[in-house]
Chains A and B, each alone.
Chain A
Amino acid sequence: EAEVAQSPRYKITEKSQAVAFWCDPISGHATLYWYRQILGQGPELLVQFQDESVVDDSQLPKDRFSAERLKGVDSTLKIQPAELGDSAMYLCASAPGRGEYNEQFFGPGTRLTVL
């Protein structure tokens, strides 16, 4: 069964360092989402792509976060510099991107700890 892949699964870094997370969506899925889940909370959208274009990045802290999906397939989320408050689970999801029902499939996430 096709799955969304993410790496690394765990990342520990010191504040002010740069970190990057990678997501490989299910093949053929046009829509890709990055969510951040703080411990004890539900996931919140950071950025949404349709193919290689950003659809919604209104909640992305653009002074330190960047995201790209250059060829409309896999995606990278970067944080520079990392801050203590960035410690969270970063979840990637993909969806077919067409039709009325557009189920989102989630990857296993990357757990970031900033020391």
Chain B
Amino acid sequence: GEDVEQSLFLSVREGDSSVINCTYTDSSSTYLYWYKQEPGAGLQLLTYIFSNMDMKQDQRLTVLLNKKDKHLSLRIADTQTGDSAIYFCARQGYGGSQGNLIFGKGTKLSVKP
């Protein structure tokens, strides 16, 4: 299977919560990341979580990490149409904090008004 796996599509209504899930195979990464990519643009870091944490909250974003199951999720509260984008889960590759990022294929979030 893929190193980092995500479901490809998610559709929600404006105002609902969105939950994007990610699983990974290598548990040695120190940090795990969520990036957002809007059409034709580069990647924007949304949030990250250190591997010894279970949860991190940042305004409307909540990241949950289950190291035992190698499962990461991103919850967006009160989802807005401006949140429509592709969301990438990523883990740090080899080389510790200097290593490259290994990305999933991305989850396309569509928010309906």
Contacts and interface: CB of A to CB of B under 8 A. Distances in A.
Interface size range on A against B:
20 to 34
Interface residues of B, number: 23
B24 interface: no
A42 B40 contact: no
Contacts of B48: 101, 103
Contact of B41 (A48, A56, A103, A108): A108
B95 A111 contact: no
B34 interface: no
A109 B42 CA distance: 6
Nearest to A91: B42
Interface stretch (B10-18, B55-63, B75-83, B97-105): B97-105
Given A100-B30, A106-B42, A31 B98 contact: yes
A99 B4 CA distance: 25
Contact of B100 (A45, A97, A101, A111): A45
Contacts of B90: 42
A42 B98 contact: no
Interface string B77-113: 0000000000010100101011011011110000000
A33 interface: yes
Contacts of B43: 43, 91, 93, 106
B27 interface: no
B58 to A, nearest CB: 14
Interface in A30-72: 31, 33, 35, 40-45, 48, 50, 55-56
A95 B97 CA distance: 10
A106 B105 contact: no
B98 A55 contact: yes
Interface in B29-55: 30-31, 35, 40-45, 48
7 closest residue pairs by CB, A with B? A42-B103, A45-B100, A106-B42, A102-B97, A106-B43, A108-B42, A109-B42
Given A42-B105, A43-B43, A43-B88, 13 more contacts: A4-B42, A42-B4, A42-B90, A42-B106, A44-B103, A45-B93, A55-B95, A56-B100, A91-B43, A95-B98, A104-B45, A106-B44, A107-B42
